A and B are shown apart, each in its own frame.
Chain A
Amino acid sequence: MMFTYYLRKTLRDKAYLFWSLAFPILLMTCFNVTFMGPARGEVDFAPVESAVLFIDEDAEEKSAFAEEFESVLANLADTEAVKKSNMGYDHAIVKLISVQNREEAEKMILDKDLQVLFLVKGKEEKIDVKVGDSANTTTLMVARGIVESYRRNYMIIKDAAMTAPDKIEAVMTSLSESISVMKAKSAYIENDDGTSANVYMWYFYSTIVMGMFFNVTAGVHTVFDIQGNLSGYGMRTSVSPKKKTQILLSAFSARYVLSCAITFFALTVMNRCFDVPLGNRFPHIILFVLVGNLFSMSLGSVFGLFTKGDETQRDNKATAIVMISVILSGEMIVQLPGLFEKYCPIINRINPATIMNFAFFRLVNYPSLTGFWMNMIKIGLATVLFLTVSILKLRREKYAAL
């Protein structure tokens, strides 16, 4: 009964729904209009310096999987072939660099002479991508696009009925689609340190994080609902024979479930309506949403319990802090994280919104999940800390302490 009523109460909280759901979607729409305008954000890119190595292959007799991939890369490296295709580029997509072995390739990557190394395991029909520091987001997306398009189309390619040129064309068409989406929507700002940020995606991810972080207000409301010293209804619940833990769990879980649902909805809108990629690591995305919302609600609980003022004032304080965090993460000025990285990297390391943005960005775009996990651990630890402090404070109040 309590869960349902807390859920109903939150669903009717117009301010909460506006800031957590409507505002982020509105903002995403604005970003979409801004970046999808004619020629806006449309940038070209230089051919990606790539090398390919065939692992577990007989040099003389390559598997069909490896052989076809080699052909695709050769075509993408051929300016004339690209021009003839419907990809819309008048230059090669990749620049093939010959390497003898893995050691040499890795050294070239370290020396920034090579951006991408494709490691083809023909027997397993698997391709690993190694990306060097010199690779920016464009490079990364092109490399991933090539591999994904190839994987997607390999079944078609295997079809013996298809002629050789048709096979290549299928991959190039597919790749063209993924690159054109990226091309139309991307504007890249090259930072001083050589790294780059995908402005368009960064804005969207930052907006998702902002929506999640606005759930701090849900944390503030939760403690107000149960603490007798904070509100009249808190007093009523404290006087009642219901156990405090039970009321706390109902109030918290109702808001948490709703917050997570709102974030999933916003992610779906971002992906379906605005074509912003989410990648295919759905369990990780679920984890990201669960942890992010838990973090913001636990932060809200701390604000509700330890700051001064009435419910609205504490709400405003929590929202203001979240807004600062979100702005510092590049929501309005996308160059900010880059500048901080150069002049004051500690801000990027401790700012929760930046940590979450990076986590999501890495989750969607990076082959390795190390960065994602590092960021999630940071946020997870902060969540545990805030929750522990809040529970201790709530438990310590044996009496409601009016």
Chain B
Amino acid sequence: MSEIIKVDGLVKRYKELIAVDNFSMTVNEGEILGLLGPNGSGKSTTINCILSLLEFDKGTITIHGKEMSPKAYDLKAQIGVVPQEVSVFEELTVYENIDFFCGLYITDSEKRKKMVQEAIDFVELNEFKKFRPKKLSGGLKRRLNIACGIAHKPKIIFFDEPTVAVDPQSRNKILEGIEQLRKEGATIIYTSHYMEEVEQLADRIIIIDKGQLIAEGTVDELKSMIKKCEMIRIEAKGITDEDLDKIRALENIFTVEYDGKHLKIEAGKGNNVVEVIKVLQEKGYRMKNVYSEQPTLNDVFLELTGKELRDD
């Protein structure tokens, strides 16, 4: 896959505050790149710099090897944006909104008509196309917001938290749609602080905090970066301190907590569940409900930064 966007040594300051601090990243053609970070981490600032909405202090941004600038109209023509807020005109209908924003890119009215209809079909808003946005539910508005950003069939699409405040049904539709766009050949940059979505969608993830790149890689690569790889939960009564010490002594076991009924173990890489069960079985404990949980991206973030990723 060829490199489509390249950000190199980006620095953006707001007076004393450094919003983006020597940040570099690349986006490959046809991939979905997840940009993860808590609110205020600098991900939106980075995106806005890439889109030339913000002037930055240092660094370079290139798209297809060409420097991005407010006047790089040929590059802008290839980009679609789905902002976090529903950014449509309340006075225009669903169809008119999509037509207006598509018209900023496509001047041929016949071609545009076809594209608008395709976008409406894509987000399944056919029966609502004569509705004004205020008559749509939150989820439908989000779909309209997406349609306005993709109707002109951009090669690069920026999604900024497109599923905020959306019901599960609409969220699934949106995620399916994004997956579909990738299949059709679009390159997608997806920012969110919903880890599950990013984990489900992204081919590659960049974790950003305080304007700095914390980690980069596939989901598995990121998870493998941290020590704690497994959380084991077992329901068993009457485990003695001596047996708990035996468990603690096992290789790759980091912490063991027990409240007389629930055993909670944090472990690293390895065949930990089997080893723990073996110890308990040898001592004749009756076990119920054995769980082994793999680490989440939040665990990755927590271990790398010392704080939770999700703040809501």
Contact = CB atoms under 8 A, between A and B. Distances in A.
B55 A236 contact: no
A238 interface: yes
Contact count band on B: 20 to 34
A235 B96 contact: no
Contacts of B87: 231-233, 235-236
Interface string A359-402: 00000000000000000000000000000000000000011111
A233 B90 CA distance: 11
Contact of B104 (A8, A13, A229, A241): A241
Contact of A398 (B51, B55, B89, B96): B55
A271 to B, nearest CB: 31
Given A231-B87, A241-B104, A402 B81 contact: no
A71 B300 CA distance: 105
Interface in B83-130: 83, 85-89, 91-92, 96, 99-101, 103-105, 107, 109
Interface centre among A8, A228, A231, A232 (most CB of B within 10 A): A232
A236 B96 CA distance: 15
Interface string B53-93: 11100000000000000100110110101010111110110
Given A236-B81, A237-B104, A239-B76, A400 B54 contact: yes
A13 to B, nearest CB: 6
Given A240-B105, A241-B77, A228 B53 contact: yes
B74 A5 contact: no
B48 interface: yes
A241 B80 CA distance: 11
A235 B52 contact: no
Nearest to A232: B87
Contact of B83 (A5, A13, A236, A243): A236
B182 to A, nearest CB: 20
A241 B74 CA distance: 7
A236 B48 CA distance: 11
A12 interface: yes
A243 to B, nearest CB: 8
B70 A398 contact: yes
A155 interface: no
Main secondary structure of the interface of B (DSSP, over half): loop
Interface in A1-48: 1-2, 5, 8-10, 12-13
Nearest to B45: A402
A18 to B, nearest CB: 14
A213 to B, nearest CB: 22
A281 interface: no
Given A236-B104, A400-B53, A401-B54, A5 B96 contact: yes
A189 B88 CA distance: 52
A239 B105 contact: no
A242 interface: yes
Contacts of B92: 5, 8-9, 12
Contacts of B55: 398-399, 401
Contacts of A233: 87-89
A239 B53 contact: yes
A241 B53 contact: no
A242 to B, nearest CB: 5
Given A9-B92, A399-B52, A236 B148 contact: yes
20 contacts: A2-B103, A5-B96, A5-B99, A10-B91, A232-B87, A232-B88, A236-B81, A236-B87, A240-B104, A241-B73, A241-B74, A241-B104, A242-B104, A247-B104, A398-B55, A399-B53, A399-B54, A400-B53, A400-B54, A402-B48
Given A236-B101, A239-B76, 20 more contacts: A5-B89, A5-B103, A8-B92, A10-B91, A13-B91, A229-B53, A231-B87, A232-B88, A235-B81, A235-B87, A236-B83, A238-B53, A238-B70, A239-B53, A239-B81, A240-B104, A241-B73, A247-B104, A400-B54, A402-B48
